Amino acid sequence: MDPYQTDIPAAVDDPATATTARPLAAGVTVILGFLATLGDSPGVYRMLNGRGDVLYVGKAKNLKKRVAAYTKPERQVLRIQRMIAETAGMEVVTTRTEVEALLLESTLIKSLGPRYNILLKDDKTFPHILITADHDWPQVLKHRGARTRPGEYFGPFASAGSVNQALAALQRAFLLRSCTDSVFAARTRPCLLFQIKRCSAPCADRITPEAYRALVEGARSFLSGHSQAIRHDLTARMEAASEALEFEEAALYRDRLRALARVRASPESGAEGLENADVVALHQAGGASSVQVFFFRAGCHCGNRAYFPSHGRDAEAPEVMAAFLGQFYADRPPPPEILLNLAPAEAGIVAEALSEKAKHKVTLLLPKRGDRKRLIDHATDNARDALARRLAESGAWRQLLDGVATALGLEAAPQRIEVYDNSHIQGSDAVGAMIVAGPEGLLKSAWRKYNIRSTTLTPGDDFGMMREVLTRRLSRAQKEDPDRERGHWPDLILIDGGQGQLTSVLAVLEELGIDDLAIVGIAKGPDRDAGRERFFIPGREPFMLPPRDPVLYFLQRLRDEAHRFAIGTHRARRSQGLVRSTLDEVAGIGARRKKALLTHFGSARAVAEASLPELEAVEGISRTMAKKLHDHFHPEEREIRPE
C-alpha cells in the first residue's frame, strides 16, 4: 500500500479552508514533477491548488533542497500535510540572493494572502508628517495614504491624535506654514496663526526665504532624529539674544525650546536615548499570537498598536516574529533600530533584508538589561493583555454564535453572518449596506456599500432595493466562488425588516437557484421598541426571543450596526450631491473653468443669469464656451436665435 495514499481532512477549526479530501500521493507527485526542474539557486516558490489559487508562498536559499522536503510529508505537521494534499501546481521565481528571496516572499504574502502562510491582517495605513517639496515655501502637514506628493515623509504615528499633537508642537517650534497653497496665494496679511506664534507668515513676507529655509531644515533635522543638535542651537541663540538684551527674541527661542520639550516628552520608562526605533514584542497563548509595536520617532513616543497575525496552532514564536517583521515592513520603511523581546527565525537574513529595503543599516536588538529591557517588558505586558482581551472576546462571540444557532434553529454555529439594510430619503440617494460578522467579531474589511442603480424602482421601494442588493451580492458570489470553498458565502443572512423584505429576498434566492442559505428577517417591535423584535424565518411562525436573552442583544447589535453603516453611507453620498453645482451639468466645464466662473460671478446662480457678453469677459472662457453656457441656461433663447 502506498504510504501516502491517505486522505487528509480539512481543518476542523477553519471551515473557510475546507476542501474536498485529496490523497497526499497526488500532491507529492505534483511536487516531484517540479522538483526535477529546480536548481540550487535561491528563490521563491508558490504552491497552487486546482483553481490556481495560491496556497503557500515560501523562500529558500536552495530551492531544490527546500522543495524536496515536501516530498516527505510524514515529517511535516498536519497543516502542511493538508497543503501538500491540495497542491496541484507550483510556480518558482529565482533570485540572486536569499535576501532578495525574503523580500519577495514578504511582498507576495502581503499581496496574495495565502491561507497556509502566517498572515498579518493589517489594512490600516499610518499617518505621517509631510514636509512638502513642491512649493517655494514648504508646508508641514499630516498625510495618510499613497506618497504621491513630492516631499519628505516622517513617521509612522500610531494614531491621528498623536500626529496632531506632534504637528502642533512642531508649528510652535519651527513656525512652518500649514495652510494650503491656494490660501497662501490669496493672503496679503498674516492670519491668526502668526499672532499666536505658530507660523512665521511667509505669505505676508514677514520672513526672508533664507530664514524660512533654515526653519525647514531645522524641522527636517529634528524629525530625522537630530533633536539634540537642534536644542543646543536654539539654546545658544536664546542665550546670545539674552546677553544682547534682545529679550523678546530670547523669549521666542525659549518658547520654541519648550515646544520641543513637549514633543519629546514620553511617559514610557526606558525611552531615553531612543531617537528612531520600533519596539516589537510578541506573546503567544492558546494557539494565537499578539504583537505589540511601540513607535519612537525623533525621540518622541508616537503611540502603539496591537496586531494579531493569523497562523496555525503549531506556529513557533520565532517563525511568527520573522513573518511579522517581513510583512509589517513590506510597505513601510523600517527605522535604524528595532528592539525585540525574542529573536526571529533567520535573524541575520531578516536584518539584512530590512537594511536593503530601508537603504540604511537596520539593527535588530534584544535588550537583556537596563532601561531598554524595561521598555521591552512593558511592550510584552501590553501584548499579553491585548491577547487575553481578544481571546476573551473571541470566546464570548463564539458562545453567542452557538446561541444564535440554537435560537434560530440552525444546524451549526454560523461562521459568517451578513446583515443588510437600506437607507434613503424619499427614494433619493438610495444605498444598500452589508456588514459581516464571524467568530472573531465584526469583519470590517468585508463590509460593502451598494449604490442603488435601478431606474425603474418606485422611490422608497425598500423591497425592490433589497432585491437589487441581494441579487448583486449573491450572483457575484456564484461567479467568484461557485464551489463555496473560499469563505465568501454567508452561513446566515439577516434582513432588517419583516415578512415583506423576507419575501423579496426569497424571490432572489429562487431566481438564482439557491436553496440552502439561512435567511432571517428582524422586524422592529411596536412603536419601534427595542427588545420586542419579531423574527421571521421561512416555514415558521414569527416569534420573539426573551427580553433579556443575550442572543437578542447580540442580534440587535448586528442589526443596529448595519443600520448605522447604511445611514453613514447614505449621508456621505447625499453630501457629495449637495456640493455639486449646476455647472457640473455643462459639458466642457472642468475644475479650472468652474473655479474661474465662480470666482468671477460669486455663485452658480449668478452664472446662470449672466448675459453672453458677461460670460465672454471671464478669463479662460472662450466665445464658444460662453455660448454653450448661455444656451444651457437659456434654452428658450437658443431656439429662436438665428445661426
Can you give the CATH number for the domain in which 605 is found? 1.10.150.20
pLDDT of residue 431: 86
Q: Are residues 427 and 563 in the same domain?
A: yes
514 CB neighbour count, 10 Å cutoff:
17
Residue 398 lies in a domain: no
Q: Are residues 304 and 339 in the same domain?
A: yes
DSSP character string of 402-437? HHHHHHHT-SS--S-EEEEEEEEETTEEEEEEEEEE
Asked if residue 48 lies in contact with residue 91, where contact means CB atoms within 8 angstroms, the answer is: yes
Give how many domains the chain has, as a whole number: 5
Q: Are residues 98 and 193 in the same domain?
A: no
Query: What angle, rounded to 10 degrees, do the helices at 78-86 and 24-35 form?
Result: 70
Cα 175 from Cα 226, distance rounded (Å):
18
Q: Are residues 319 and 345 in the same domain?
A: yes
User: Which domain, by its residues, includes 636?
Assistant: 582-640
pLDDT of residue 547: 78
Give CA 57 to chain center in angstroms.
23
Which backbone phi and psi does 213 adopt, to 5 degrees?
-60, -35
C-alpha cell at 423: 437607507
pLDDT of residue 365: 93
Nearest one of 138, 293, 319 to 216, comparing CA atoms: 138
Q: Which amino acid belongs to residue 532?
A: R
Residue 123 lies in a domain: no
Residue 403 lies in a domain: no
Asked if residue 219 lies in contact with residue 176, where contact means CB atoms within 8 angstroms, the answer is: yes
Q: Are residues 137 and 223 in the same domain?
A: yes
Q: Are residues 569 and 590 in the same domain?
A: no
Which backbone phi and psi does 587 adopt, to 5 degrees?
-65, 135
Q: How far is CA 460 from CA 300, 427, 435, 466, 577, in A?
A: 53, 4, 22, 11, 18
Residue 518 lies in a domain: yes
Cα 54 from Cα 232, distance rounded (Å):
55
Which residue bears the cell 453572518?
Answer: 417
Cα 68 from Cα 32, distance rounded (Å):
8
Cα 562 from Cα 422, distance rounded (Å):
9
pLDDT of residue 20: 41
Q: What is the pLDDT of residues 301-325, one digit of tens each?
A: 777 889 999 888 888 999 999 999 9
Q: Tell me whether strands 518-523 and 534-536 are parallel, antiparallel or unpaired.
A: antiparallel
Residue 358 lies in a domain: yes
Angle at 162 between CA 158 and CA 166, to 5 degrees: 125
Which residue bears the cell 496555525?
Answer: 312
Cα 531 from Cα 546, distance rounded (Å):
8
Residue 552 lies in a domain: yes
Q: Are residues 318 and 245 in the same domain?
A: no
pLDDT of residue 1: 42
SS (H, E, C) 29-64: HHHHHHHCCCCCCCEEEEEECCCCCEEEEEEECCHH
Name the 3-class secondary structure at 177: coil
C-alpha cell at 558: 448586528
pLDDT of residue 225: 64
DSSP category for residue 210: H
Output the domain CATH number for residue 365.
3.30.420
Task: Mark 459-479 as b/e (b = at least 16 C-beta within 10 Å).
Answer: eebbbbbbbbbbbbbbeebee
Q: What is the pTM of this model?
A: 0.66
C-alpha cell at 605: 446662480
pLDDT of residue 19: 41
Asked if residue 493 lies in contact with residue 418, where contact means CB atoms within 8 angstroms, the answer is: yes
Q: What is the pLDDT of residues 269-278, one digit of tens each?
A: 456 667 788 9
Cα 419 from Cα 522, distance rounded (Å):
10
CA R_g for the chain:
31
Query: Which residues of the chain carry a pLDDT beneath 70?
Result: 1-22, 122-124, 225-228, 259-273, 298, 426-427, 525-531, 574-585, 635-643
Q: Are residues 572 and 427 in the same domain?
A: yes
Q: Are residues 367 and 447 in the same domain?
A: no
C-alpha cell at 493: 443572512
pLDDT of residue 312: 84
Cα 130 from Cα 126, distance rounded (Å):
12
Q: Are residues 179 and 284 in the same domain?
A: no
